[in-house]
Amino acid sequence: MPCTIGFELFMMTGSSEPVAKAIPAMTSKKPEDTPSLPATEAFDPRFAGIDHLPVTDALQMQLMAQAEAIKAVEAAIPDIDKAVKAATEALRNNPRGRLIYVGAGTSGRIGIQDGSELTPTFNWPTDRVAYVMAGGLKAVLKAVERAEDNTRRAEVAIIRLKVKPGDVVIGMAASGTTPFTIAALKRARILGATTIGIANSADAPLLDAAEFPICLNTGAEAIAGSTRMKAGTAQKITLNMISTQIMIGLNHVYDGLMVDMRATNEKLMKRAARMVRHVTGCNAKEAEMALNAVQGRVKPAILVALGAGVTSAHAALEHNDDNLRAAIRALNLSPPKP
C-alpha cells in the first residue's frame, strides 16, 4: 500500500502521489499535569495482588475486565448510531469522500487494522481510505511516545491530505487527552469534514473536539494505564461496528453476505461461489458459470444465476445505486426463501 512518511507523520492513501513532505523537527511541550486523571489511568483495587494469583485465576479476572468493554460499547449505542448515520450520508453524497483514521499508539494501530480490511471485504476503493498516525510508519510497530504531543504535525497532516466536506475523520484516544488526535480532529472539523471522536473517559477534550463524540466508559484497566486492554477492545468493537454499518448503508452487504468482496485467491473464489449458491439456490456448476460470465463479481453473478442476462444484470445494479436487493426487485427475480 503506498505511503508517505515524515519525521513524525505517517499517512497512507490509495494514490501513488505523495500526500505529505518531511516536516522539520520541532520541539513540542508536554501538557501540564492536571489534578484529575482520566479514568483509564486510575488504579482498580480489584486487581491488587494479581501478580501472585494462580494463572487461571488471573486469566479469569482479565476476562471479567474485557467483558466490561462490551457493556461500555452497549451504553454508547445511541451515540454510535448518530455517528454512523452522519458518516454514511456524507460518504453516499460524496463519491470521492474518504474514511480517515487518526490516532497515536494502540488507538492508531486499531484504526489502521480496521481501515485496511475495507478493500478486501467490501471492495472499498483504496483511494477512499487514509490514515494519520502519530510517530509515522515506525510507530505502527514500535511505540514512539513523544509523537502524540505534537499538535502541529497533526494539523499539517490533515491539511496535506486536503481534508474537505464529504470526508469522515475518526479520531481515537483512550484517555481522550492526546494532543495529536485532538488537533487533527479540530482541524478536520474546521475544514468541513464529518468528525467522530472516540474516547474511553467521560468529559475528555477529544469528545468536545468532535462533531459526533462517542464515550466508551471502560474505566480503570486490570493493569493501570494499559489501555491496550479493555479500552482497546471497546475501540476495536466500536470501529468494527461503525465501518461495517457504513458499508451496509452503502449497499455492500446483502443478507449478511459480503457481496462486493474481491475474489483474489482460491479461498475467496470458493466463498464467492458459496454466496451465489446461498442466495440463488443454484448448484456449484451454475454458480461457477455465473461468476465466469461477470468476471467474478458476486452481485451480477447472483442476478445472472437467478435468470437475468449479463447486460441486464449490470444495468439493474447501475440504475439502483449498486443495491442488490433493489436490482432483484427491478428485474422481477425471485430468490428462493431461506
pLDDT tens for 193-245 read 999 999 999 999 999 999 999 999 999 999 999 999 999 999 999 999 999 99
For range 117-142, the mean pLDDT: 91
Mean pLDDT of the residues in the chain: 89
**pLDDT band, residue 29 (cuts 50/70/90):** very low
Q: Are 153 and 181 in contact (CB under 8 A)?
A: no
Rounded to 10°, the helix 284-293/298-305 angle is: 120
Q: Where in the chain is the domain with CATH 3.40.50.10490?
A: 3-23+37-249
Task: Give me the mean pLDDT over the 254-282 stretch.
Answer: 95
Q: Where are the alpha helices (DSSP H) in the chain?
A: 55-75, 77-93, 105-116, 118-122, 138-141, 151-160, 179-190, 205-209, 230-249, 266-280, 284-293, 298-305, 310-319, 324-330
Structure-model confidence comparison of residues 144 and 163, the more confident one: 163
- The arithmetic mean of pLDDT across residues 290-308, rounded, is 97
Q: Could you give the CA distance from residue 106 to residue 230 in angstroms, rounded to a whole number?
A: 12
Q: Please tell me which of 218-222, 288-292, 334-338 the model is most confident about, judged by mean pLDDT.
A: 288-292
* Percentage of the chain lying above the pLDDT 90 cut: 79
Catalytic, out of 41, 89, 117, 155? 117
Beta bridge partners, 101, equal 131, 170
Task: Name every residue whose Cβ is closer than 8 Å to that of residue 297 and which is 6 or more positions away in sequence.
Answer: 291
Which class does domain 266-330 fall in? mainly alpha
Lowest mean pLDDT among 38-42, 76-80, 175-179, 299-303: 38-42
pLDDT at 103 over 70: yes
- 135 versus 82: the higher-pLDDT residue is 82
pLDDT of residue 22: 36
Give CATH 1.10.8.1080 domain extents, the chain: 266-330
Q: In angstroms, what CA-CA distances link 131 with 121, 181, 281, 297?
A: 18, 12, 41, 28
pLDDT the model gives residue 7: 29
Would the pLDDT of 15 be above 50? no
Distance CA 243, CA 220 (A): 27
pLDDT band at 14 (very low <50, low <70, confident <90, very high): very low
> Does position 27 have pLDDT exceeding 90, yes or no?
no
For 244, the grid coordinates are 461495517
Question: Is 254 or 38 the better-scoring residue by pLDDT?
Answer: 254
Note the pLDDT of residue 31.
42
pLDDT at position 5 is 31
Helix segments in 45-104, DSSP class H: 55-75, 77-93
Whose CA is closest to 174, among 250, 222, 225?
Answer: 225
CA distance linking residue 16 with residue 152, whole number of Å: 25
Task: Count CB neighbours of 14 within 10 A.
Answer: 15
What's the confidence (pLDDT) of residue 6? 31
Describe the crossing of helices 179-190 and 151-160 by its angle, rounded to 10 degrees: 40
Query: How would residue 36 be classed by pLDDT, with cut points 50, 70 and 90?
Result: confident
Is position 17 annotated as part of the catalytic site?
no
Q: Which CATH superfamily is domain 3-23+37-249 in?
A: Glucose-6-phosphate isomerase like protein; domain 1 (3.40.50.10490)
Q: How far is CA 117 from CA 124, 233, 267, 273, in A?
A: 9, 17, 16, 21
Query: How many Å apart are CA 302 and CA 290, to the nearest integer?
Result: 7
Catalytic residue flag (residue 211): no
CA distance 83 to 85: 6
How many C-alpha atoms does 137 have within 13 Å on its Cβ side? 8
Nearest CA-CA partner of 297 in 329, 325, 264: 264
